[in-house]
């Protein structure tokens, strides 16, 4: 999965993971960003590691 800005990902976009499961990235990213105040540092760090500036502490 590549890091993408929520504005650059259409809401219907999905990513297929190596295990064959699907992630609705177009839904996940905006939801995570809108709820970032409720996310722990342990939850935000992997997002920041992917390059999502809004997740950086």
- pLDDT tens across 14-57, in order? 999 999 999 999 999 999 999 999 999 999 999 999 999 999 86
pLDDT at 40: 96
Residue 9, pLDDT score: 85
Q: Please say if the pLDDT value at position 7 is more than 90.
A: no
Predicted local distance difference test score (pLDDT) of residue 14: 94
To the question of pTM greater than 0.85 for the whole model, the response is no
For residue 39, give every residue at least 6 positions away whose Cβ sits within 8 Å of its Cβ, in sequence order, or none: 32, 55
How far is residue 31's CA from residue 13's CA, in Å, rounded to a whole number? 14
């Amino acid at each position: 999965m590549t890091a993408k800005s929520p504005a650059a990902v259409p809401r219907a976009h999905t990513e297929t993971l190596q295990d064959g499961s699907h992630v609705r990235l177009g839904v996940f990213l905006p939801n995570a960003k809108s709820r970032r105040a409720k996310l722990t540092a342990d939850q935000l760090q992997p997002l920041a590691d992917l390059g999502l500036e809004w997740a950086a502490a």
